[in-house]
Amino acid sequence: MTIGKPNLKIIVDGVFFQLHILGVARVWMELLKAWIKSGYAENIIVLDRQGSAFNFPPDAVFHPLGTMPRLPGLKYRLIPGYSYENAQTDMQMLQEICDEENADLFVSTYYTRPINTPSVLMLHDMIPEIEGLDEPQWKQKHECIRSASAYIAVSQNTAKDFSHFFPEIDHVLVKVIYNGVDHQVFRPASLTEINQFKQSYGITKPYFLLVGVRTGYKNALLFFKSFAQLPNQEDFSIVCVGGGWGIEEQFKEYITQTQILKLQLTDQELSMAYSGAITLVYPSLYEGFGLAVLEAIACGCPVITYPSSAIPEVLGKAALYIDDDIEIMKRALITIQHEQIRQTLIQAGLAQAEKFSWSKMAEEVSNVFIDETLKFLNLREINLIIFPDWSQSEGDLYIQLVEVIKKRVSDINSYKTTLLIYVLDDTEGETADLLLSSIAVNLMMEDEIDITENLEISLMLDINEKHWKSLLPHLHGRIILDAENQEVIVKFSAEKLLVWK
């Protein structure tokens, strides 16, 4: 017999905010904000690594590397910073924290883990595996993968790559949940906003936009080589956002006659940069998702990109796809300047972007967490539930429970059945535990029935509607008792469940 605890307490390790401020940090920040808005944050404790969750002024524009804004509505716990050299010590510390907080689930924003508390791991890409990297952090990633109880992949492509590199892990444990976009921030800017942005940064010509890292598999060199072959390159500027503070040497020989700006922008400014660009050029050869392309189309910015990995999942038909070829890229840079083509791509992109939101992602991720708590209930092929009225005498409760349990134990399908017994609080749980122990002993002595041999019995502590919604598809029926908790039955519309004889 087990006591289920479907009301989650989740530990979220904010380690990524200590280590980096990149796309992954945006994903977690947006999820946390969405959970605060929905009320789900009441289940969460965020581990603040060496004070990286900082109380910035409300009007702060940039946050220093290794910090994150401390969000009102979240509970934080300050803990030491992380280093790869002390991974084992860190793991022990995290387990102690999970034990102290009575955590049901651990979730890391990067690749940290406790010893035995169940964990859910979010998979953003398989780039280290594809490139054969074996630095300590990637070895740590593999340890976290092999110890996790469930996985979230941000694209079908990432899930496919994950199955390729870790075939021993059941693909059923991997749930694909797409990243989102903030439509309040990343939206088509007005002409006035675009002109103000251009004036602020001295942009006087139509410009091609690049966002993020430009080297390696990000493949920006293809753009620069192609741009150099444009007959009218002097009519354009190039705006690079993020990806380091300078322009890489390997690109400079291709832009000797061109204005190029290297900018660090706020999200609001980035939205204007997308909106005012001729196109976002994004020739990356591999993406686990591709946040930048989604932000771009949400702002009405056409995208030129390589149809690799997860990109087609995000953009669908709302992009100008190219091959990894200089001449083809050059033709795309020319084609995208035709207004009719641009408008077709803009409208398709705006419609495609509507399919993604952080609130949708947060809801789906929280459902994965909820599903994980169902494991406490030891669900089986057949799952039945009863709603006893615990206010009645223990004698009456005993008689009803004995009748239900004897019938289930004698059933031919008892070995694949879980009987769920609903209790409102710990007091009712203790009463149920004592009664079931007494029933087990008496049935063994009087009828030689061992109720623990085949039948699984789980006490289910009071749950909310989200947990009930997640549990409902697993329930096969309800067993009616002489006296029941009608308030709970009505609350969950449990009277609609199939009555099980």
The domain that contains 421 carries what CATH number? 3.40.50
- Of 51-60, 140-149, 234-243, 295-304, the one with minimum mean pLDDT is 51-60
| Count of domains observed in the chain | 3
Q: What would the mean pLDDT of 92-110 be, rounded to a whole number?
A: 96
pLDDT surpasses 90 at 121: yes
pLDDT surpasses 80 at 134: yes
User: What pLDDT is recorded for position 453?
Assistant: 84
Residues 253, 117 share a domain:
no
Most confident of 349-358, 421-430, 448-457: 349-358
pLDDT in tens, 139-183: 889 999 999 999 999 999 999 999 999 999 999 999 999 999 999
Contact 289, 181 (CB under 8 A): no
User: What pLDDT is recorded for position 7?
Assistant: 55
Residues 122, 240 share a domain:
no
User: What pLDDT is recorded for position 466?
Assistant: 80
pLDDT surpasses 90 at 18: no
Could you count the other beta carbons within 10 Å of the beta carbon of residue 381? 11
196 backbone dihedrals φ, ψ, rounded to 5°: -65, -40
List the beta bridge partners of residue 383.
418
Q: What would the mean pLDDT of 241-267 be, rounded to a whole number?
A: 86
Sequence-distant (6+) residues with CB within 8 A of 195 are: none
Angle at 149 between CA 145 and CA 150, to 5 degrees: 85
Q: What would the mean pLDDT of 359-381 be, rounded to a whole number?
A: 92
Q: Of 177, 167, 251, 244, nearest to 208 (Cα)?
A: 251
pLDDT surpasses 90 at 27: yes
Gyration radius of the chain over CA positions:
28
Sequence-distant (6+) residues with CB within 8 A of 336 are: 278, 279, 302, 304, 320, 342, 345
Residues 344, 198 share a domain:
yes
Residue 336 located in a structural domain: yes
User: What pLDDT is recorded for position 59?
Assistant: 45
Give CA separation, 191 vs 109, 197, 199, 231, 277, in Å.
38, 10, 12, 28, 12
User: What pLDDT is recorded for position 3?
Assistant: 47
Residue 27 located in a structural domain: yes
27 backbone dihedrals φ, ψ, rounded to 5°: -55, -50
Tokens of 283: 């020739």
User: What pLDDT is recorded for position 375?
Assistant: 85
Eight-class DSSP state of 131: T
Could you count the other beta carbons within 10 Å of the beta carbon of residue 271? 27
Residues 239, 168 share a domain:
no
Contact 87, 140 (CB under 8 A): yes
Residues 490, 433 share a domain:
yes
Residues 368, 389 share a domain:
no
Contact 333, 230 (CB under 8 A): yes
> In terms of pLDDT, which residue wins out, 424 or 8?
424
Tokens of 201: 């940064």
Give the confidence band of 2 by pLDDT, cuts at 50, 70, 90.
Answer: low
Instruction: Report the predicted TM-score, pTM, of the whole model to 2 decimal places.
Output: 0.87
Residues 33, 147 share a domain:
yes
Q: Which residue, of 292, 326, 356, is where some domain finishes?
A: 356
Residue 216 located in a structural domain: yes
pLDDT surpasses 70 at 481: yes
3-state secondary structure string across 369-389: HHHHHHHHHCCCCEEEEECEC
User: Which structural domain, as residue segments, surrounds residue 448?
Assistant: 378-496
CA dist., res. 126 & res. 162, Å (int): 7
User: What pLDDT is recorded for position 169?
Assistant: 96
Give CA separation, 431 vs 394, 422, 436, 464, in Å.
8, 12, 9, 22
Residue 185 located in a structural domain: no
Contact 175, 150 (CB under 8 A): yes
pLDDT surpasses 60 at 436: yes
List the beta bridge partners of residue 105.
10
Q: Which residue, of 345, 372, 399, is where some domain finishes?
A: 372
Q: What would the mean pLDDT of 23-29 be, rounded to a whole number?
A: 88
Eight-class DSSP state of 267: H
To the nearest 10 degrees (0 to 180), the angle between helices 426-447 and 394-410 is 60
Residue 461 located in a structural domain: yes
pLDDT-above-70 percentage for the chain:
95
CA dist., res. 69 & res. 222, Å (int): 37
Residues 208, 165 share a domain:
no
Give the confidence band of 114 by pLDDT, cuts at 50, 70, 90.
Answer: very high
φ/ψ bin of 202: left (φ > 0), alpha (ψ from -120 to 50), beta (otherwise): left
Q: What would the mean pLDDT of 116-144 be, rounded to a whole number?
A: 92
Exposed e or buried b per residue across 485-494, where buried means at least 16 C-beta atoms within 10 angstroms of its C-beta: beebbeebeb
Q: What would the mean pLDDT of 6-10 be, rounded to a whole number?
A: 73
User: What pLDDT is recorded for position 55?
Assistant: 58
What is the end-to-end Cα distance of the chain in Å, rounded?
Answer: 22
To the nearest 10 degrees (0 to 180), the angle between helices 136-147 and 87-100 is 40
Q: Which residue, of 324, 356, 388, is where some domain finishes?
A: 356
pLDDT in tens, 39-93: 999 999 999 998 887 654 444 445 554 456 788 999 999 999 998 889 999 999 9
> In terms of pLDDT, which residue wins out, 295 or 54?
295
Residue 501 located in a structural domain: no
Give CA separation, 306 vs 7, 230, 498, in Å.
44, 20, 52
pLDDT-above-90 percentage for the chain:
74
CATH number at residue 163: 3.40.50.2000
- Of 224-233, 357-366, 372-381, 388-397, the one with minimum mean pLDDT is 372-381
Average pLDDT score, the chain: 91
Could you count the other beta carbons within 10 Å of the beta carbon of residue 215? 13
